[in-house]
Structure 1
Amino acid sequence: MSGVHIEIGRPQEAVKQWSSKSIYFSLLESNHSATTQAESAGFLAKQLNETHSHTADMPANIEQLDAWLSDHNEVVGRQYHEYLAARKAGQPRWYFGTKSHALFFLRAVAPTKLVDGSWLYGLMKHWQDPRLASLIKIYLEELGDGVEAMNHVVLYRKLLKLNACEDWKNLDEKFFTQGAIQLALAAHTDSHLPEVIGFNLGYEQLPLHLLITAYELKELNIDPYYFTLHTTIDNAQSGHARGAIDAVREAMPLFGESRDYMQRVIAGVKLNDVGLSTLDVIKHFDLQGEVVRILQSKANIGQFMHSDRCVIGGKTINEWLRDQDQVAVFLYEMEKIGWVKRHQNPEDSPFWKVIAGDKAPMFGVFTGYEQQVIYDWIAGEKIESMPMLARLGRPWRMVEKQSVAQEEARHKRYGNVYDFQSGNKITHQLRQENDFTQDQLSFERHVHGIDDEEKLMHFLVDWMSPAKHYTSIGLCATRYFKSHMDSLF
């Protein structure tokens, strides 16, 4: 199963540049082309080669992993305690100066969060191998075991939508690198199993930034549930951090020489360093630059939409917007004439009144995220003195866990009526067929018509891919798969 793996540290004849963004979206296609497979293999080999010289703090001796895990959690716990003490003593937030800064972060890490757990997908076709049980369990839990309210990607998609940050696909190349790594590991698991196991080991350890992020998002009226969920599910006693160490031990019999195995596991751990880190993304935020970027993104259409009666700095607005390089100067000119009154209540700026509010002349032109950026930029040094509702928006509500009865009703509504425990098909009447239910009913009929276990599981695994698992059918497929796995182990 381990196959032939690409040697790390071997000199490359020529350094080829791959597009992380292109590979990311290509790997999210349902069926990978031969070109995608080849390019993603080369991309993965390049990342392994570049991180070969990096140091990793994890031990090479598998017997020392438990102590390593315990020490790591103790260090993170002490650091978080220091953070809380500093905040209690009056220090400002360490990560997010404004709500727009936090929303920028949510948007910037979306390419990674929206493939959460994807690096384990390649293991699903090996569902019968008990040596991979811990890893398969982790992947199922990333998928919420098929429950929409617990599926990590569903949760993050909802978080983006709630905060009007859904335009993440327009992000620059550098924000897709880590997500591309995770998808590449999923696509090449058969030749990189130890690296997948190692990546999972590194990723599932509780980081300090996760705790601080959740704390500060809550302060800024942004629902932190996605992040608090990971602080609990990744715990060292019974969560993913523990399961990740168990997985290292469980898979070792697949490899004859433990030293080589552990070196490849460590190589996988190092892949967590590829791309922008959480702190890199946070530091990447430039409020002024983000305002300029937002206006530039509107310029292609905006240059035709304004009346020539309004002249600012000797040019019409249309003329300013025809040259995107002049947008920063345009902002300066608006300040000069008082259209933007920096470091004051944005409500006092004519520009804000034009873009914000249901009856504003430019209602709908700027998204909620974009308005938050502009609001924070105008308020500037006075941001913390602005009214809380205007500055932070309406209070968020924690996601409520559904009761068992609600979940059973959801499953029945989705038509999950095949009992893997007994092997019998339950004779609930399927929903009435119409244009909105054809895909679900077709899925159910197909599942109920497969009598071969291997074929059935292969079909379900396809729907559990990073591109599909968060859909209604993907969630249903995950529940079928989970039910069968529970009957095996």
Structure 2
Amino acid sequence: MQSQPRFDAYQGPAHLQQQGAVKALYQALMQPQPRLSSDTLLQARDFLDEQLQHSSSLECELPEDPQNLMNWVRDGSVRTTDAYAQYLADRRQGEPRRYFHNRAHALYFLRHVAPTKMVDGAWLYGVLQQWQQPALRPLVRTYLEELGDGVPAQNHVVLYQLLLSSNDCDELGDIEDRFYHQGTLQLALGQLAADYLPEVLGYNLGYEQLPLHLLITCYELAELGIDPYYFQLHVTIDNSGTGHAQKAVQAVLANLPVVGDTQEFYRRVSRGYQLNDLGVSSTQVINEFNLDEQVVQMLERKANVAGMVHSDYCRIEGRTVNQWLSEPGQIPAFLAALQTRGWIRRDQAPENSRFWHLVQGTGAPMFGVFSGYEQQLLHDWIAGSQAPEPKRYRRHPQLATDPSLQEADTAESAALAKELNALPEPQKQARLIELMAPATHFTPAGLHATRQFQAYLR
């Protein structure tokens, strides 16, 4: 979806309006299937119903006649590729990056969209229960492809986990509640698909379109030395010719009722489609980044847990480091004092700043205190306009599959194989589907279950 969300925060029932409640629901829905409580599912239904009320009030861009959906999808794809061609032409003429000012900005984006990316495809989970229905096969097929057909190197969540960890930005504890909005929507749809199938069809139709921001993200991540493969994979599989965008249209048309209220069914599809416009979009995440603010917030979090562990022999502007860090709201003044005393030299190579040598390198006094992401924030903040351009990322063909993603014969997989062999066929199917849930499909057992489930679709 390319349009901007019109609701930045959940406005549902009172028990879900509390600070952190959406994130809490997200985490509850990410429990393995046997641990999901009826109370969690009731909360998910409340959340989803409230969001559908919001989406019903939005103007919908879908064609009035569902038979025109494929042409609509292809027209949208042409507009996107034309806009991307213009973007590339602008860049060739010397225009700067449109999205990411520096590497820290890109890593901020990767972290803040992670709650959505880590449940990629979750809205389709519920259709597995009806995998034998031909009309739902396009959705089942799409879900399995989101799971990489059980191959770790193609499983979308595994790939995103690797992307975060390889850039040392996989600690997400400080991510605010509102960034969990879309992920919670996807998890709720996946758990309640039996009652919300038209909405699932509509949401899937919107989510599987090729947006301009995806193409630009791929290009600019590579420029900043960050592997764009996760995003490139979505460019290829979401195409309108043979990919998920086409399957999304096929699924809508195949499930339109022959007998009954077709108009009402399609209205519900449209309402589900509009759910894509709720929450915080990718482009909003990008536009909200402010390097000064992120540095201050990061150091304030550090001060909260380590504000009194520094020695008192060093004084900055007459105050010890412990004194600076012990009082809330002092980080901006502390940073200013460090610059006044020459500990930080802005708009120069960070290596020229004494402070940088305290935090970076194996022999640094504060080695291990700052994650790779936090060091990147400090690096780009100090360097400013003098930040060197990273080397463009090039994926070597021989290294296209990370060795860590090779499937191993784990004890967990072996135990699952033994368990499945002892189950009658109906229970075996149920167990496989259980393990292919959003909370577990990326684990060794979930990947094994996905590969086993493939046999039913042949």
Under a length normalisation based on structure 1, what TM-score does the superposition of the two structures give? Answer: 0.87
Q: Which amino acid in 2 is paired with 1:143? A: L
Q: Mark the runs of 5 or more structure 1 residues left unpaired by the alignment.
A: 1-11, 415-436
Is residue 483 from structure 1 mapped to residue 440 from structure 2 by the alignment? no
Residue 427 of structure 2 is matched in structure 1 by 455
Residue 235 of structure 2 is matched in structure 1 by 231
Give me the whole-angstrom Cα distance separating, in 2, the residues matched to 1:254 and 1:304.
70
From 352, 356, 362, the counterpart of 1:358: 362
Give me the whole-angstrom Cα distance separating, in 2, the residues matched to 1:164 and 1:57.
40
Residue 25 of structure 2 is matched in structure 1 by 23
Q: Which amino acid in 2 is paired with 1:482? A: Q
From 369, 377, 395, the counterpart of 1:397: 395
Is residue 445 from structure 1 mapped to residue 447 from structure 2 by the alignment? no
Give me the whole-angstrom Cα distance separating, in 2, the residues matched to 1:74 and 1:249.
22
Q: Which amino acid in 1 is paired with 2:27? A: F
RMSD of aligned alpha carbons:
2.1
Is residue 96 from structure 1 mapped to residue 100 from structure 2 by the alignment? yes
Q: Which amino acid in 2 is paired with 1:458? A: A
Residue 193 of structure 2 is matched in structure 1 by 189
Stretches (4+) displaced over 4 A? 12-16, 393-396, 398-403
Q: Which amino acid in 2 is paired with 1:460? A: L
Displacement of 1:447: 0.8
Displacement of 1:395: 5.0
Q: Which amino acid in 1 is paired with 2:115? A: P
Conserved? CA contact 1:223–1:398, under 8 Å: no
Q: Indicate how the Cα distance of structure 1 residues 150 and 349 shifts in structure 2: closer, same or farther if over 3 A, else same.
A: same
From 443, 446, 455, the counterpart of 1:471: 443
| Secondary structure of the corresponding residue to residue 83 of structure 2 | helix
Give me the whole-angstrom Cα distance separating, in 2, the residues matched to 1:227 and 1:16.
32
Conserved? CA contact 2:112–2:175, under 8 Å: yes
Give me the whole-angstrom Cα distance separating, in 2, the residues matched to 1:14 and 1:142.
34
Under a length normalisation based on structure 2, what TM-score does the superposition of the two structures give? Answer: 0.92
From 59, 63, 66, the counterpart of 2:67: 63
Greater mean alpha carbon deviation, residues 18-27 or residues 356-365: 18-27
Q: Which amino acid in 2 is paired with 1:72? A: G
Give me the whole-angstrom Cα distance separating, in 2, the residues matched to 1:478 and 1:247.
21
Q: Indicate how the Cα distance of structure 1 residues 398 and 278 shifts in structure 2: closer, same or farther if over 3 A, else same.
A: farther
Deviations 1:336-371 (A, max 9, x none): 111111111111111101101111111111011111
Deviations 1:78-111 (A, max 9, x none): 1001100100000000000001000100001000
Residue 168 of structure 1 is matched in structure 2 by 172
Give me the whole-angstrom Cα distance separating, in 1, the residues matched to 2:202 and 2:85.
29
Displacement of 1:40: 1.1
Displacement of 1:393: 7.1
Conserved? CA contact 2:26–2:187, under 8 Å: yes
Mapping of 1:185-334 within 5 angstroms?
185-253=189-257, 256-334=260-338
Q: Which amino acid in 2 is paired with 1:397? A: R
| Secondary structure of the corresponding residue to residue 376 of structure 1 | helix
Is residue 50 from structure 1 mapped to residue 57 from structure 2 by the alignment? no
Q: Indicate how the Cα distance of structure 1 residues 351 and 280 shifts in structure 2: closer, same or farther if over 3 A, else same.
A: same
Q: Which amino acid in 2 is paired with 1:231? A: V
Greater mean alpha carbon deviation, residues 36-45 or residues 15-24: 15-24
Sequence identity, in percent?
44
Is residue 148 from structure 1 mapped to residue 152 from structure 2 by the alignment? yes
Greater mean alpha carbon deviation, residues 315-324 or residues 74-83: 315-324
Give me the whole-angstrom Cα distance separating, in 1, the residues matched to 2:336 and 2:391.
28
Conserved? CA contact 2:13–2:47, under 8 Å: no
Give me the whole-angstrom Cα distance separating, in 2, the residues matched to 1:114 and 1:381.
33
Q: Indicate how the Cα distance of structure 1 residues 16 and 443 shifts in structure 2: closer, same or farther if over 3 A, else same.
A: closer
Residue 140 of structure 2 is matched in structure 1 by 136
Residue 417 of structure 1 is matched in structure 2 by none
| Secondary structure of the corresponding residue to residue 253 of structure 1 | coil
Structure ID, larger Rg: 1
Deviations 1:365-385 (A, max 9, x none): 1011111110000011222xx
Displacement of 1:169: 3.4
Q: Which amino acid in 1 is paired with 2:25? A: I
Q: Indicate how the Cα distance of structure 1 residues 174 and 249 shifts in structure 2: closer, same or farther if over 3 A, else same.
A: same
